[in-house]
Amino acid sequence: MNHTDETEEMNPSVVLTADAITAEIRQLILSGTYAVGVQLKQEALAKRFGVSRFPIRQALKRLEAEGLIQHTPFAGSVVASRSIADLLEILDIRIALEMRALELAIPNFTQADLDALHAIMERYDDSASPREWSELNLAFHLRLYAPCGRPTLLRMIEDIVRGINIQLRTQQSLRVGRKAPQAEHRAIIKACAAKDVKKALALLKDHIEHTQVALREI
């Protein structure tokens, strides 16, 4: 590590800058501004954000951990592309992680948790933007599992979902829509309100598997 990197690493403002850059690049990817396969050059990004390459490298590492970008031998960092088989496998991982999170969350559910979920559902119903549906869907799932009290597990779930959302939108387009997912969300909320762990887990598993079915039909 050179002197410049050491100085930047010790400066709290650089950490905040790296966070802001990570969030901005993530949004550019998720919005489709940076499409699948686009090369992300450190020099160009540093110029765009008016910073050194160090926070850019930090941001790219975080986005690579989230699965949004991948490093290739010749092109460097590019917006990640995954095959249908990869997406199906990642959805299997989602099922395992999210069912565990929900199992731990349900005994701790309060009326405030249910109210928060219904509020997200209302925003989802009112939105006409498929791009926003993706974010609201993630918000719903993270709020659903929040009572589990496992922050590391929740971060893993969020990283996985963000890492495949751009690909799912590319592959599925508007095939699934929001009507069916919203009906499934409501059924899950109802099971959670009743503290019916077995039913809620079965509904959640079916919910994620429906995305797998849609991918296989493409």
Over the chain, what is the mean pLDDT? 86
In this structure, are 135 and 205 located in the same domain? Answer: yes
pTM: 0.73
pLDDT tens column, 120-170: 999 999 988 877 888 899 999 999 999 999 999 999 999 888 878 767 765
In this structure, are 198 and 136 located in the same domain? Answer: yes
Count of residues for the chain? 218
In this structure, are 175 and 101 located in the same domain? Answer: yes
pLDDT above 80: residue 30: no
Total count of domains within the chain:
2
Q: Which of 79, 105, 139 is the last residue of a domain?
A: 79
DSSP string, 16-82: HHHHHHHHHHHHHHHTTSS-TT-B--HHHHHHHHTS-HHHHHHHHHHHHHHTSEEEETTTEEEE---
In this structure, are 7 and 73 located in the same domain? Answer: yes
Indicate the burial class of 1 (C-beta count within 10 angstroms; 0-12, 13-18, 19 or more): exposed
Q: Which residue has the tokens 């690579």?
A: 64
Residue from 84, 77, 33 nearest 58 by CA: 77
In this structure, are 105 and 168 located in the same domain? Answer: yes
| 78: β partners | 39, 70
In this structure, are 194 and 97 located in the same domain? Answer: yes
Q: Pick the residue with more confidence: 14 or 180?
A: 180
Domain that holds residue 25: 3-79
In this structure, are 88 and 37 located in the same domain? Answer: no
pLDDT tens column, 172-216: 545 666 788 899 999 999 999 999 999 999 999 999 999 898 888
In this structure, are 73 and 135 located in the same domain? Answer: no
Q: Where residue 47 sits, what CATH number does that domain have?
A: 1.10.10.10
In this structure, are 57 and 110 located in the same domain? Answer: no
Q: Where residue 107 sits, what CATH number does that domain have?
A: 1.20.120.530
Quick one: average pLDDT of 106-130? 94
